[in-house]
Structure 1
Amino acid sequence: MGYLALLRAPHVTRLLLGTLLGRLPAGMTALVIALALRESGVPYGRIGLATSVYALAAAVGGPVLGRIVDRTGQPRVLLASAVIAGGGYALLALAPGSPVAAPLGAAVAGLAMPPLEPCLRSLWPDVVEDEQLDTAYAFDSASQQILYVAGPLAVAGIAGLFSPVAALWVAAGLGLAGALVVATAAPARAWRAPAREKSAGLLGPLRSPGLVLLLVGLAGAGWAVGAQNVLFIAYAERHAGGLPGGGGTLLALAALGGLLGALAYGTVNWRQSTATRTWLMALAMAASYLPLVTLPGPYPMAALAFVSGILLAPLLAAAFVLVAELAPTGTVTEAFAWLVTLFATGNSLGYAVSGHLAEGSSLRPVAVCAAGGIALGAAVLFGARRWFRSAPTAPRFEPVGAVEPAEPVEPAEPLTVG
């Protein structure tokens, strides 16, 4: 099934556009916080604190909101979190120079960031046919690549035309608008997770060893992306004028590679299992990062940037399906939220370590840091491949108001992918 067929399916276009709109602030916030606080004369130390607080709060809040969605449904959580997060952005916009209000606003905005990503991925099995799932997750992954570019560009445009504070207000409005579009859609209103397994306990989806190992492996991919971003920016500074657009061009080429890679992935009728595809994509991504260590001239580096980006989105597309297969019954939204958290945590750590390494005389350690992150993640995924088996379960999703049948019926067959 192709992308046109996917987009013609009921509700798909609305859900995609709504989540893109509502997730755009996630690609804007770190940069817009830095610009708004700096415009108010805040020192870099406090700017770093505010952005770190935002990232940490988002990492904590995502799984918590995901668990609440699994227990109560999507609309109320999406709308309430969007309103609260909007309050955090408003606090930042009204008092960006305050040593108390600014980090507090950043914390609220991060903690209450609407869980649109995990909600959409929980909805896909209800919205599309089984044979369209790979295509849907690939399109979802491709859209992420757009956000990596569109978020900073939106901040730059709004800040240039108006001010960084105006961009904070826009981020608040976009989050609320996106949440409204998704929360009022029929699939979101009808979706309910099946009854949570009693054995899930406090750990929820993290009691699945296979899922934990998958998340750890994907954190390695996040590390690689964070380190790669630092590498490209530092490389462009040391080759000033060697490439039009400098570091921005290298980052855009990597995102373009990911976009095209995801779109190509979604058109293939894969015979391998989802688990096999996941570790194969990770190994291929690790191989694509190795040439970066050579640090060639600007134009060959541009080609390597494009190639290194191709496998990220297909890896995530395969991982999305695998997360749904591995998550214990009744915990799928929280499981997707943990994926976002672990990837973002790896990304932040990759940024931090590579940023320190970039202060040296050579950028080769930074490139090794990026390649090493995905290599380690791929090794974890390959070594854990025997754990990537989902136990047979009842159907994962139930429509609202489902009526118990008068007589026993045959359970639905479990979803098989690949």
Structure 2
Amino acid sequence: MPNPYAEIFRAPGAKGFAAAGFLARMPMAMAPIGIVAMLSQAHGEYWLAGAVSATYALTNALLAPQISRLVDRAGQTRILLPTTLIAVAAFSLLMLAVNQNWPVWTLYVTAFAAALMPSFPAMIRARWSELFRDRPELNTAFAFESAADELVYIAGASLSVGLSVALFPEAGMLASTAALTVGGLAFIAQRGTEPTRSNTGGHTTGSAIRQRPVQIVTLALVFVGTIFATAEVSAVAITEALGEPGAASLVIGVYAAGSFVVGLIMGAMTIRMPMQRQLAIAVGIVAITTIPLLFADTVVSLAFAVFVSGIAISPTFITAFGLIERRVPAALLTEGITWVITGIGIGMALGAFVAGWVVDTFGAQNGFWVSVFAGFLALTTVVLGQQQLSRTIPGSGSPSPQPAQ
């Protein structure tokens, strides 16, 4: 039986842009926590560290879809090169401002400018779509990308903090900026796999967020991102309450591991079911598996419940991006994918905040009620949107509905 992952990398240029893109997306996980680690050590003020990091993260969440919209109109190279260089320069100035103790306002200005960093996960998926549009290999490619995103989130944050603590405050941000520089420029240099202008700059006007499928999927993934972050916050709180704070990293790792493995398996399969139904099933599993979290009262039971809760996260992401590729006009594809990624990020920020408040107010175990509520809202959103998600949009990746999708 042929390896489907080996098959997708036989496409000309696939190995090159995937490798460069993996490196370029590292700041997605490393930069926000790297800013916190850098400033908390250099200034000793967590509120300042959190405020500067939030300035970067929230501004990037707002700007990334707009940058991707320009990419859809003008092409990747023309937009990615200047925005990437600006982000690299801004990150460098931020590190210099911290090291040289420049005025506080310079921290906010440089963090704001660094938020021009484009969404490389969206750019990579746009290239896979260009290679495998209307072909089953695209599902495998999206599965690989979801697994890669999870690896970045698992390893990136730990690497950023670890370097800053072990070496010097700016070490984590320096590694993150180096990854963006090398990976970003290497990705941009590979013009052969860049989506053609006929697929990125067509006659479609307006923003992708006006497309009903983008609205439905993005909203659903805001709630899924909330579940993702709540699991992490609650795991830390519960293991601390149980007197075993060191077990938190193990529990969180198990959460991502379950999703990672199932996602890879799903990418190797050909599922003959409409994608909107696949999404409803995946989100339904996500919602149902949040319930056992409420009853975990030992580290072992918590790890098992978290593992089960995570199994459908990656399939949800894979199917969500597949739906966007098939239901959104090709001229808006990169922006549409970026909105979904932004939705996940907003959900994670929201989940961390709400879960933290619930844990502080009602106790560690009650943080998972946020997961249960968010799971119900995600499922409701997808179920109510089934009819809209089943419609083929003129100019989208799929000319007609396909049962095998």
- Shorter-chain TM-score range: over 0.9
Alignment of 1:221 onto 2:224: yes
> What secondary structure does 1:330 align onto?
helix
**1:78 corresponds to:** 80
Correspondence list, 1:55-204, <5 A: 55-96=57-98, 97=101, 98-110=103-115, 112-128=116-132, 130-189=135-194, 191-192=196-197, 193-198=199-204, 200-201=205-206, 204=207
Letter in 1 for 2:219: V
Counterparts of 1:42 and 1:89 in 2: how far apart (Å)? 20
Counterparts of 1:390 and 1:184 in 2: how far apart (Å)? 37
> Deviation at 1:395?
6.9
> Deviation at 1:263?
0.4
> Deviation at 1:350?
0.9
> Deviation at 1:65?
0.6
Correspondence list, 1:394-409, <5 A: 394=395
Cα RMSD, aligned residues only: 2.0
Q: Deviations over 1:356-385 (max 9, x none)?
A: 111135223311101211221111101111
TM-score by length of 2: 0.92
Counterparts of 2:373 and 2:325 in 1: how far apart (Å)? 28
Deviates more, 1:87-96 or 1:135-144: 87-96
Counterparts of 1:184 and 1:395 in 2: how far apart (Å)? 27
Going from structure 1 to structure 2, the CA distance change for 1:395 and 1:304 (only over 3 Å counts) comes to closer
> Deviation at 1:281?
0.3
> What secondary structure does 1:75 align onto?
helix
Q: Deviations over 1:66-106 (max 9, x none)?
A: 01100111123222222111122112211125311112222
Going from structure 1 to structure 2, the CA distance change for 1:187 and 1:306 (only over 3 Å counts) comes to farther
> What secondary structure does 2:289 align onto?
helix
Q: Which runs of 5+ in 1 are unaligned?
A: 397-411
> What secondary structure does 1:9 align onto?
coil
> What secondary structure does 2:357 align onto?
helix
8 A Cα contact 2:226 2:347, kept in partner: yes
8 A Cα contact 1:11 1:127, kept in partner: no
Counterparts of 2:226 and 2:393 in 1: how far apart (Å)? 33
Alignment of 1:370 onto 2:374: no
Deviates more, 1:95-104 or 1:297-306: 95-104
Deviates more, 1:280-289 or 1:149-158: 149-158
Name the % identity: 23
> Deviation at 1:133?
0.9
Counterparts of 1:286 and 1:413 in 2: how far apart (Å)? 32
**2:269 corresponds to:** 268
Aligned residues: 397
Counterparts of 2:365 and 2:162 in 1: how far apart (Å)? 34
Deviates more, 1:387-396 or 1:323-332: 387-396
Correspondence list, 1:331-346, <5 A: 331-346=332-347
Counterparts of 1:116 and 1:361 in 2: how far apart (Å)? 39
> Deviation at 1:41?
1.9
Letter in 1 for 2:378: G
Letter in 2 for 1:126: E
**2:286 corresponds to:** 285
Going from structure 1 to structure 2, the CA distance change for 1:367 and 1:160 (only over 3 Å counts) comes to same
TM-score by length of 1: 0.90
> What secondary structure does 2:183 align onto?
helix
> Deviation at 1:390?
3.8
> Deviation at 1:161?
3.9
Alignment of 1:298 onto 2:303: no
Letter in 2 for 1:144: D
Q: Which runs of 5+ in 2 are unaligned?
A: none
Q: Pick from 1, 4, 8: which aligns with 1:2? A: 4
